Amino acid sequence: MVPSSAGRSPAPSRVGFSLFGAGSPALSRRTLMRGTALGAGALALPAALAACGGDDDKGSDSGSKEVSFGSNYSDPVPKTAMESVLKGYESKASKTVKINTVDHNTFQENINRYLQGTPDDVFTWFAGYRMQFFASQSLAADISDVWSAVGSGFTDALKKASTGEDGKQYFVPFYYYPWAVFYRKSVFQQRGYTPPKTLDEFKALCEKMKTDGLNPIAFADKDGWPAMGTFDYLNMRINGYDFHVKLMAGKESWTSSQVKQVFDTWRGLLPYHQPGANGRTWQEAAQSLVAKQSGMYLLGAFVGEQFTDADRADLDFFAFPEINSQYKQDAVEAPIDGFMVSKKAKNTSGAKDLMKYLATPDAELLFLKSSPNNVATHKDADTSGYSQLQKKCAELVGGAKQVSQFLDRDTRPDFASTVMIPSLQSFINNPNDVDGLVKSIEDQKKTIFTT
Amino acid sequence: MAMSDLAPTGTPATPPESGPRGRRPRRPRRSRRLAGRDVVVVAVLLGLAVVIDIAFIWGPTIASVVLSFSSWNGVGDITWVGGQNYDNIVNNYPPFWPALRHNLLWLAFLGLVATPLGLFFAVLLDKELRFSRFYQSVIYMPVVLSLAIVGFIAQLVYSRDYGALNSILGRTSHPTDWLGDPNINIWAVLAAVGWKHIGYVMILYLAGLKAVDPSLKESAAIDGANEFQTFWRVTFPTLRPINIIVLVITVIEALRAFDIVYAINRGRNGLELLSVLVTDNIIGEASRIGFGSAIAVILLVISLGFIVTYLVRILREEPR
Amino acid sequence: MSVEERAPAAAAARSAEQPVVKRRRRPPRPARIVLHVFLMVAALGFLAPLALAVYASLRPYAETAQRGYFSLPHKLTLHYYVQVFEQADLPKYFLNTMYIAIPAVILTLFLSSFVAFCIARLKMRGGILLLVIFTAGNLLPPQVLVTPLYQMYKSIPLPESLSSSLTLYDSYLGLVAIHVAFQVGFCVFVLANYMRTIPDEITEAAVVDGAGAFRQYWQVTLPLCRPALAALATLEFTWIYNDFLYALVLMSTGDKLPITSALNNLRGQFFTDYNLLAAGSVVVALPTVLVFLLLQRHFIAGLTLGANKG
């Protein structure tokens, strides 16, 4: 999130200027006395306040009865949902869970420092390379024993996503949401559109939308990450999931013809995307979908949050179209959110016990009650309470041959944020210089992936 | 506030007759002998301040310089790579050169536009004017606003599809993308920065102008000078010490500029700045500590360049 | 330099004149009217973005999402302000910020005024060096410091009574310390310059009376610096209040973060209701505005008082 500039140098003082002799009348004795007291108090204050401020955080070393939980579920609705999930655990296991909530962005920005400092026993995190990175740095605890107890409830793909580079498990999945091309049913019905299955059909549909006065594809990349979804899908459709994974791991070259083909295909589609993407937030783009100004939007299922309850029933999606018949529509991008145990946990056994609970379908469903855009990961989760859209999401991911996690979770965070974000934005500004772009990415990649 | 005022051998305007007090008249006002208890008091308090400054500021700075020669992700082992980070920054990091240009552009804008405007408003408000306190407060108000609200205001005004500016200008078919077009967004941001900076500078100059001797101005008026000439020949020269302060402030603001661009779009796509690049690499999840420290050192060197220049001026003015 | 001597006299003369000026109520010249008009327009221009932000905070998200921010309202609501208080838990975070800002401002002013005193009044040897060390320290971009600072904080142990995390990391004391360290530099620069303008006779008198260094500082010099201290207090409070960087890096317990973090809680993981954020920002900005309005008269009025000190 947003670190602001700390300690800006104050105006050297609006004061300094009575250099020329204007002074102020001397303070009265009373004010001086007050001043002294204040001064003395100031010195004692930090100690006193820190002491009373520090009381509530006695730490979870008060025996194995308390487990601490570091959470980034800072939005009010997920926050309450998470609290109810953990209360469920408390009553079941007669233990206490101490929740430490930090706002979403700050939590992520700080994760490196957090895990090295005084982390909570269990913390919320994501699957993918981002998880493996911390595992390999010995900042996360091995929970393979938890998996041997609860692993049967998850598919192999999920187990793979929870496994670190050394073959041990470090992560327990909670829920996920797919990325797909969303549209409004009413708009499609009214204009007689049908969801396309191949790239050619997709292009034809875009043409039709254009002539009908709609903006075919909503598009926004002010925050830098939304465009990654488009890149991922294009890459997986054109070159296959394996190539994509290798590219993310730095094992394939960005100057290869495969990658160039991805960008060339994207350039062909750009005219159908909303112009001015780099100045638009994904929320504004989603609003254009809500307002029926745009026909389609490739985004995660959280796009539903932009719709009012009444309109949400009108929301539907289709899987990203096939481009290469070799790969069809096998891969689905579905980021998984879940939990890990920190290496420096004070109460590891309690933490693992909590993880076992969090891996149950009950816990997942309890959370999802207030989360209509996400889908449970457990095989046995009862899907009867799902909305139409949720059921479709579950089918999409369930039927996927491979599941990717999204670019910024599948690759090194420094590569994703310092190289890919600016590169994708510059591609959107200037899609014609693909050679220059991929060379720049490759050169930068070499400086990062060697370390 | 010329630095000469601070020279140990400075000669502030005090009457030379210190004789009656029985002190040796010729002795420059240097460190008087401190009595025993005084030494303790001074040592403790001054020592505390110095220790804090060195421990929390200079220590980490030097550590950062050292780290800039390493490649480290903050967690594992540190590998030393010599000047490789610097080489990569200059040759292999696309945001760097735009960031440097933008910082210099920032400096030019603040120095040539915003600061003079601050002076202008200060001069206007220096008169006996009703509501002058109101005007001063309003113009100063942007200075106290925090990051979040400034970022939001930028969004409100400049958003391509929903912002106030495009609504007023009325262009709906091809609205100007004030924030998203890398060729113009830096200017949009500089306008917002000026909005904040003007009040800052205005207050400084206001204080200084209030200390200008009105009899000087009056005698100039009597001699037939108009307002502009009075300002230029009489007032402005006496503002010289303040100009130095304002200059320092302006340079600091330009080099440490961070808030607004970060709040708008995290400093990308035409809004790159050196401090943002440092933040991206060090603070966030990216954790390219060595690389980020190298960028910080570059920023440090530029800042030190100004400090040294300032220092040279001080020493040169000092009438040793 | 002659201005320095003449100013007190002139200012005294001016204050004697003031009653005359006030009584002189002639009709405003046309130039004055133009000036007022210009200043009014400028003031409105400065206020406009802020007014727009407050306006946006009174309108529902659905409305501005549809019709833009610069549109006539269908519905005005205080609902967001209510939500801010309910959801953002402002009182807690505000208290956290006070734990940090108040000690930091007081300590900064105290330490820096003493150092300035040593440099400018006691005229210690090496004063210039001290001045440069402190000032240059503040010219550094704070991002330069954070990583080593974090490592350092993690390894400094503290007793439980001062920090629940048992180290300087994740403690209020740690944040106060870094703010003080960072701000002292600038305050020393300002106060040293300011103190230089105080004629020496005043301290001379105190020395002859047998006052030690601390008494000279506390009872003689410091009161004369009131305008400077008031101005610095306003600015320091504003900057420390609005800081987020140090809290981000050096704190890890969500409940101890300062108020700038409360605003982040209003941002969603995915969806940010900008109008809610506007309402939150307005509320959060109020204390700094209040401090400015309260202290304003000390440093602006103080300067016009041209009282004779000699």
Q: What are phi and psi of C306, to 5 degrees?
A: 10, 40
* Cβ-nearest to C145 among B6, B61, B279: B61
Residues of A whose CB is below 8 A from C65: 283-284, 287, 290
Interfacial C residues in 173-202 facing B (CB < 8 Å) = 177-178, 180-182, 184-185, 188, 192-193, 196-197, 199-201
Q: Which residues of A289-323 are buried (b: 16+ CB within 10 A; e: fewer)?
A: bbeebbbbbbbbbbbbbbbeeeebebbbbbbbbbb
Q: Which residues of A411-446 are buried (b: 16+ CB within 10 A; e: fewer)?
A: bbbbbbbbbbbbbbbbbbbebeebeebbebbbbbbe
- C62 in contact with chain B, both atoms CB, cutoff 8 A: no
The pLDDT, as a whole number, for residue C27 is: 65
Residues of C whose CB is below 8 A from B193: none
- Residues B191-211, mean pLDDT to the nearest whole number: 82
Kindly identify which residue of chain C lies nearest to residue A27, measuring between CA atoms.
C223
Chain B: give the shortest CA distance to residue C143, in Å: 6
Hey, where are the domains in chain A?
Answer: 29-177+336-390, 179-333+412-449
The pLDDT, as a whole number, for residue C25 is: 54
- B294 in contact with chain C, both atoms CB, cutoff 8 A: no
* Count of other CB atoms within 10 angstroms of residue C149: 28
Q: Is the pLDDT of residue A173 over 90?
A: yes
Where residue A451 falls among pLDDT bands split at 50, 70, 90?
low
- B293 in contact with chain C, both atoms CB, cutoff 8 A: yes
ipTM > 0.90 for the complex = no
Residues of C whose CB is below 8 A from A113: 150, 249, 252
* Cβ-nearest to C149 among B7, B60, B252: B60
- What confidence tens digit (pLDDT) does each residue in A276-300 have? 899 888 988 999 999 999 999 999 9
Is A448's CB within 8 Å of B182's CB?
no
* Cβ-nearest to B57 among C49, C127, C181: C181
The pLDDT, as a whole number, for residue C253 is: 84
Residues of B whose CB is below 8 A from C131: 6
* Count of other CB atoms within 10 angstroms of residue C261: 25
Residues of C whose CB is below 8 A from B303: 139-141
Where residue C26 falls among pLDDT bands split at 50, 70, 90?
low
- A12 in contact with chain C, both atoms CB, cutoff 8 A: yes
- B254 in contact with chain C, both atoms CB, cutoff 8 A: no
The three state secondary structure string of chain A is CCCCCCCCCCCCCCCCCHHHCCECCCCCHHHHHHHHHHHHHHHHHHHHHHHHHHCCCCCCCCHHHEEEEEECCCCHHHHHHHHHHHHHHHHHHCCEEEEEECCHHHHHHCHHHHHHCCCCCEEEEECCHHHHHHHHCCCECCCHHHHHHHHHHCCHHHHHHCECCCCCECEEEEEECCEEEEEEHHHHHHHCCCCCCEHHHHHHHHHHHHHCCCEEEECCCCCCCHHHHHHHHHHHHHHCHHHHHHHHCCCCCCCCHHHHHHHHHHHHHHHHECCCHHHCCHHHHHHHHHCCCEEEEEEEHHHHHHCCHHHHCCEEEECCCECCCCCCCCEEECCEEEEEEECCCCCHHHHHHHHHHHCCHHHHHHHHCCCCCCEECCCCCCHHHCCHHHHHHHHHHHCCCEEECCHHHHCCHHHHHHHHHHHHHHHHHCCCCHHHHHHHHHHHHHHHHCC
Where residue B241 falls among pLDDT bands split at 50, 70, 90?
low
CA pair distance B289, C144, nearest whole angstrom: 10
Where residue A110 falls among pLDDT bands split at 50, 70, 90?
confident
* Cβ-nearest to C193 among B5, B215, B303: B5
Residues of C whose CB is below 8 A from A6: 142, 179, 182, 239, 243-246
- Which element (helix H / strand E) includes B71? strand B70-71
* Cβ-nearest to B242 among A17, A109, A417: A17
- What confidence tens digit (pLDDT) does each residue in C174-217 have? 999 999 999 998 888 878 877 777 777 877 777 777 777 788 88
Edge-first strand listing for the sheet containing A171-176: A96-101, A66-71, A122-126, A336-341, A171-176, A375-376
- Which element (helix H / strand E) includes B80? strand B79-80
Lowest mean pLDDT among A39-48, A442-451, B301-310, C258-267: A39-48
Kindly identify which residue of chain C lies nearest to residue A49, measuring between CA atoms.
C99
- Residues B279-302, mean pLDDT to the nearest whole number: 86
The pLDDT, as a whole number, for residue B33 is: 56
- A370 in contact with chain C, both atoms CB, cutoff 8 A: no
- C47 in contact with chain B, both atoms CB, cutoff 8 A: yes
Lowest mean pLDDT among A121-130, A264-273, A358-367, C241-250: C241-250
Among C50, C57, C133, C144, which would you mutate to test the B interface (most chain B Cβ atoms within 10 Å of its Cβ)? C144
A29-177+336-390 with A179-333+412-449: one CATH topology? Answer: yes
Chain C: give the shortest CA distance to residue A71, in Å: 9
Kindly identify which residue of chain A lies nearest to residue C176, measuring between CA atoms.
A46
Chain B: give the shortest CA distance to residue C287, in Å: 10
Is B303's CB within 8 Å of C47's CB?
no
Q: Tell me which of A383 and A267 has the higher pLDDT.
A: A267
Chains A, B: CB contacts under 8 A, how many?
Answer: 163
Residues of C whose CB is below 8 A from A36: 218
Chains in touch with B (≥3 Cβ pairs < 8 A): A, C
The pLDDT, as a whole number, for residue A317 is: 95
* A29-177+336-390: CATH architecture: 3-Layer(aba) Sandwich (3.40)
The pLDDT, as a whole number, for residue C200 is: 78
Is A15's CB within 8 Å of C190's CB?
yes
Among B268, B272, B279, B283, which would you mutate to test the A interface (most chain A Cβ atoms within 10 Å of its Cβ)? B268
Structure token digits, residue C158:
């503290």
- What confidence tens digit (pLDDT) does each residue in B251-271 have? 888 888 888 888 888 888 899
- What confidence tens digit (pLDDT) does each residue in B137-189 have? 899 888 888 777 887 888 888 888 888 888 888 767 778 888 888 999 999 99
Interfacial C residues in 7-46 facing B (CB < 8 Å) = 7, 10, 13-14, 21, 35-36, 38-39, 42-43, 46
- What confidence tens digit (pLDDT) does each residue in C187-199 have? 888 788 777 777 7
The pLDDT, as a whole number, for residue B315 is: 65
- Residues C97-110, mean pLDDT to the nearest whole number: 95
Structure token digits, residue B215:
């009899």
* Cβ-nearest to B281 among A416, A418, A443: A418
Fold adopted by A179-333+412-449:
D-Maltodextrin-Binding Protein; domain 2 (3.40.190)
Is C111's CB within 8 Å of B216's CB?
no
Kindly identify which residue of chain B lies nearest to residue C135, measuring between CA atoms.
B307
Chains A, C: CB contacts under 8 A, how many?
Answer: 266
The pLDDT, as a whole number, for residue C172 is: 92
Residues of C whose CB is below 8 A from B138: 43, 46-47
Is B214's CB within 8 Å of C122's CB?
no
Where residue A325 falls among pLDDT bands split at 50, 70, 90?
very high
Interfacial C residues in 108-137 facing B (CB < 8 Å) = 111-112, 114-115, 118-120, 122-125, 127-128, 130-137
Lowest mean pLDDT among A239-243, B296-300, C62-66: C62-66
Is B92's CB within 8 Å of A224's CB?
no
Is C252's CB within 8 Å of A101's CB?
no
Is B180's CB within 8 Å of A280's CB?
yes
